[in-house]
Amino acid sequence: MEYLQQAQERLRQQLGPSGAEPRRLVGDSRRPSPPIVYTATRTIALSPDVMREQRLIAGFDQGPFVDAYRMVRAQVLQQYRQKGWNVIGVSSASDEEGKTLTAVNLSLSLAMDLAHTVLLVDADLLRPSVHRVFGMDAVSGLSEHLLDEAPLAPLLIHPGIGRFVFLPGGRSIKNSAEALVSPRMTGLVQELKHRYPARLVVFDLPPILSRADMLGFAPHLDALLLVVEEGRTAVAEVTRAMDVLKGSVPILGGVLNKSGRAMLTLRQGRTLINADR
């Protein structure tokens, strides 16, 4: 009986408070973490049909679509282990290039690595859309946390997929650039970055060239993934976007949407992986 009590106490120490994520050292992926039971986080159910309709990789067993995101995941996890990076942004040069779906699928792919938990934050506060990818209507989220001081835990949503939760953007706000550089946002990023060492945080961010949001938020990121759509994004736009961000955040690489080719190359030898949506 004493041995059983000791084992239970060790498990409680690993899991932390009720509903919390297990604490692990950065880069320690030698064995899977214990399963998580989400108690304070809202849980929704997604059918396989909805996941396939929304092009979520969790709805597909295999194929080039899934493999492409596995390649992106491998790049991200390599940097995570080598440099301790755990806050990744996903953006694009302009609107409607597939950045939100890329952020969602990258997050889901990362969550399939059982050594990590993943939190996706919809930080496109002017046009929040992550909730729609999961088939949800408008829901409270980051805007309410920043502007109304709504508690964070009840805003998080677990869509019933692995070790993954997301924070919706909440209501659309016009002063999105100011909200993203506010002291409350800075405190939130630090909390998300450091509270659970085995958690990866992905931010779905506004486009780089159409708004000022990214310029102020970039220093919060460890690295950025740039989404480009073949046949839509001009080379000049990619060049301008990278120039705008130069020196403010490392560019991890890029994702090429809607391409029949496997790879392209950006300036300075950065690779774009085809993740056709």
Tens digit of each residue's pLDDT (9 = 90 or more) over 120-179: 999 999 999 999 999 999 999 999 999 999 999 999 999 988 889 999 999 999 999 999
What's the count of helices (H) and strands (E) in the chain, helices before strands? 10, 10
Report the pLDDT value the prediction gives residue 150, as an integer from 0 to 100.
96
Tens digit of each residue's pLDDT (9 = 90 or more) over 19-53: 344 333 334 444 545 556 566 688 888 888 888 88
The 8 Å CB, 24+ separation contacts for 260-265 are 261/230, 264/230
- In angstroms, the CA 79 to CA 177 distance is 28
The values of phi and psi at residue 122, to 5°, are: -85, 100
Residue 218, Cβ neighbours under 10 Å: how many? 20
**Can you give the residue ranges of every domain in the chain?**
39-274
Entry pTM: 0.80
From the options 3.40.50.300, 3.90.1150.10, 3.40.50.720, 3.90.380.10, give the CATH code of 39-274.
Answer: 3.40.50.300
Tens digit of each residue's pLDDT (9 = 90 or more) over 57-105: 876 777 777 888 888 888 888 888 888 889 999 999 988 888 999 999 9
